[in-house]
Amino acid sequence: MDYPKSPRNTVKRIPKRGHYDEATVFSILDAGFLCHLGFVVDGQPYVIPTSYGRKGARLYIHGASTSRMLKVTETGIPVCLTVTHVDALVLARSAFHHSMNYRSAVVFGTAELVTDEDEKMDALFCISENILKGRWDEVRPPNAIEMKATSVLAIDIEEASAKIRTGPPGDDAEDYDLPVWAGLLPVKKGYEEAVPDPLLKEGIEMGHSVADWK
């Protein structure tokens, strides 16, 4: 499925890097867990980092019921949710052709409060699974008080686009003769060794979610 191209989601700068198919957008969303959510209050843009989960074409974010981000968006206001992975610095021979290898997804939709208790719990599961698969089943689930203190917003993807750059630097023909090193500096991914909580009681084994995250 392709998202229709509109003035809103069409990649204008270097159009060949633009992608409009759902599979590409989903793959970028599923490879991350932190998005930057944009919303507008009285003409002022706000961009707030938050975690998210995806179920089909519906995205979920959550937070404290008291947070500004959730208060202003629960009324059903337009949001832009962006996920970016920087894969490498692209080091060219000229300053101008320096770039990054990246995958970004920009999603447009309307954020609405999830009021159904079952969907709300399922959304929290989704978000948790997207951050660290399997962790949810290893820990104490939310109780009624915690559920009340938590708000969940759903964002159905109305329009989206992805932008991707891969590969080595692309220099101007005459610059390949310059005595300048060129190439990629790939960004490290993943996690270091897990660090136990100082208050962890003896004899408690690391769950599979942590031990097997790769």
Could you tell me which residues come within 8 angstroms of residue 67 by beta carbon, excluding any fewer than 6 positions away? 151
Tell me the torsion sign for CA atoms 137, 143, 147, 150: negative
Q: Minimum Å distance from CB 44 to its own copies?
A: 6
Please list every residue from 115 through 174 that binds its own copies, using CB under 8 A: 124, 128, 131-132, 135-136, 138-143, 146, 149-150, 168-169
Site size toward its own copies, by CB under 8 A: 94
Q: Minimum Å distance from CB 161 to its own copies?
A: 11
Q: Minimum Å distance from CB 108 to its own copies?
A: 7
In whole angstroms, give the CA distance from residue 92 to residue 136: 44
196 half-sphere exposure, CB direction, 13 A CA radius: 10
Q: Is 48 in the site for its own copies (CB under 8 A)?
A: yes
Interface with its own copies (CB under 8 A), residue from 2, 23, 68, 166: 68
Q: Minimum Å distance from CB 57 to its own copies?
A: 19
Q: Are 53 and 128 in contact (CB under 8 A)?
A: yes
Q: Are 47 and 37 in contact (CB under 8 A)?
A: yes
Site string for its own copies, 80-119 (x = CB under 8 A): xxx-x-x-xx-xxxxxx-x-x-x-x-x-x-----------
Q: Minimum Å distance from CB 30 to its own copies?
A: 17
- Is residue 127 within a helix (H) or strand (E), and if so which, with residue range? helix 117-131
Q: How many residues does this entry show for the chain?
A: 214
Please list every residue from 189 through 208 that binds its own copies, using CB under 8 A: 189-201, 204-207
Interface with its own copies (CB under 8 A), residue from 116, 133, 156, 180: 180
- Is residue 36 within a helix (H) or strand (E), and if so which, with residue range? strand 34-41
Which is nearer to its own copies, 27 or 51 (by Cβ)? 51
Q: Are 155 and 110 in contact (CB under 8 A)?
A: yes
Which is nearer to its own copies, 1 or 173 (by Cβ)? 173
